[in-house]
Structure 1
Amino acid sequence: MREQDRKILRKFYRDNYLQYGHDIKSLGWLEGTQEARFTVLTSIGDLDGSSILDVGCGFADLYGFLRDRGISVDYTGIDLNPEFIEIAKSRYPDARFIVGDFEETKIPGRFDWAFECGIFNLKVHEHRPFVENTLRKMFKMASKGIAADFLSPASYDLTGEMYHPDPLEMVRYCNRLSKRVVLRCDYKPTEFCVYVYKDTDVGVMSAFRGFGSALKDLTTEKDYR
């Protein structure tokens, strides 16, 4: 990401933080919207006992959401805003946090899953390359898959400063990363998310092996590829 774009994002979130403090509104979201969003994002697979990377983690609310539901994960969060990271560290000293630009920062290790929620909403210069570069790096770092949330074209925007990609265009890009992609438009009329899986092996009846438990009982059948 260009330094000019980092400045745009830092200013947006810092101005919000100075106005609202430790509040979901500092992240650019409305009260009461996180549960539906996080529920869908984390439905990508079985996260219990896995390692996850939260790109643009904010206050690490995703980690708190998982803990509250008894889902144990090895959590790493990265965010561009040091104010958010300081609060996240104080809330969750058992987790790992990094201050930095995800595109530019070298993050040690690999992760089972990677998540993005909200960092694409505010437009920057050359926004589409920023989105694609971020998704590509997330996918490279994840061994099982990634989930990302977007504002839909139906969402309301008075300023024209927000990014509202066409869901099918986003699916077409994600299909360049993987043959196995899921589009979720069923949780909020103003948002959608995509799951992009690493597991694309094809088994019985030409279904992806990781799709459902029914395939586990048919492992002796002939594979159709």
Structure 2
Amino acid sequence: MPPELDTARFYENHIRRYGYDYRALGFGRRSSQEKRFQTALALGDFHHKRLLDVGCGFGDFLAWLNARGIEPRYTGIDICRPMIEHSRKRFKGTSAKFQIADALTFVTDHPYDYIVASGIFGHNAKDTAKRIQPTLERLFDLARIGLSVNFLSRCAVTRSPGRLYLHPADVLQFALKLTPAVRLDHTYMPNDFTLCLYRRPPWETE
């Protein structure tokens, strides 16, 4: 089974078990989900910017941003159909757009200012690890300003079965091939890290 279909089935099973709840997304606590949101926000100013939320789930990141007065020009994509259908109902009447799509093959006519990919590599489906580099390349190509992406860290003291843990140095090494402007944050949780990749190095804008 292709990894994207395996992953979609994994989350569909979680929805049947937990309903439309943060646990269906693989988060043990809502606070861990929100810590990832806060770290992604460090990428830049999303207000009124074109934002692509990859692996958008139930649109929780958009709701979190809106609660803080941040209103991006938002598009969310996910490979899990029930999540997209729920998000469309949740944000009906708003300008937010939701689409069933795979990050690796997603096509758009216009680049996004910012792209956030949270939790898309958490499920250890067969060959998921092989998709990481081409997916990062694809998403960075679509980002006009920057890309934020998080991973489970192999430096974690405890690990959960069925989850994909990566060494931060390995992912950083590849990210630096895409751009010299990369920030790695391994400070917000012991089992997680985030990379922010910038199209234009900050030192060139000073």
Q: TM (normalized to structure 2)?
A: 0.93
1:55 correspondence with 2:54: yes
Residue 64 of structure 1 is matched in structure 2 by 63
Residue 17 of structure 2 is matched in structure 1 by 19
Q: State the Cα distance separating 1:104 from its structure 2 match.
A: 2.2
Larger radius of gyration: 1
Distance between the aligned counterparts of 2:163 and 2:151, measured in 1? 10
Residue 134 of structure 2 is matched in structure 1 by 133
Runs of 4+ in 1 over 4 A off after TM superposition: none
Deviates more, 1:127-136 or 1:83-92: 127-136
Instruction: Specify whether residues 155 and 7 from structure 1 end up closer, same or farther in structure 2 by C-alpha distance, changes over 3 A only.
Output: farther
Give the AA of the match of 1:116: A
Residue 209 of structure 1 is matched in structure 2 by 204
Distance between the aligned counterparts of 2:56 and 2:115, measured in 1? 11
Distance between the aligned counterparts of 1:17 and 1:128, measured in 2? 24
Unaligned ranges ≥5, structure 1 = 201-206, 216-225
Residue 98 of structure 1 is matched in structure 2 by 99
1:179 correspondence with 2:180: yes
Instruction: Specify whether residues 35 and 103 from structure 1 end up closer, same or farther in structure 2 by C-alpha distance, changes over 3 A only.
Output: same
Q: Helix, strand or coil: the match of 1:115?
A: strand
Q: State the Cα distance separating 1:158 from its structure 2 match.
A: 4.2
Instruction: Tell whether the 8 Å contact from 1:155 to 1:191 is kept in structure 2 after alignment.
Output: no
Instruction: Tell whether the 8 Å contact from 2:124 to 2:164 is kept in structure 1 after alignment.
Output: yes
Instruction: Tell whether the 8 Å contact from 2:77 to 2:100 is kept in structure 1 after alignment.
Output: yes
- For residues 56-107 of structure 1, the C-alpha deviation after alignment (integer angstroms, 9 at most, x for no partner) is 1100111111101001200000000110011111111220111122212323
State the identity as a percent.
28
Q: TM (normalized to structure 1)?
A: 0.85
Give the AA of the match of 2:56: C
RMSD: 1.5
Distance between the aligned counterparts of 2:106 and 2:183, measured in 1? 28
Higher RCO, Cα 8 Å, sep 6+: 2
Q: Helix, strand or coil: the match of 1:208?
A: helix
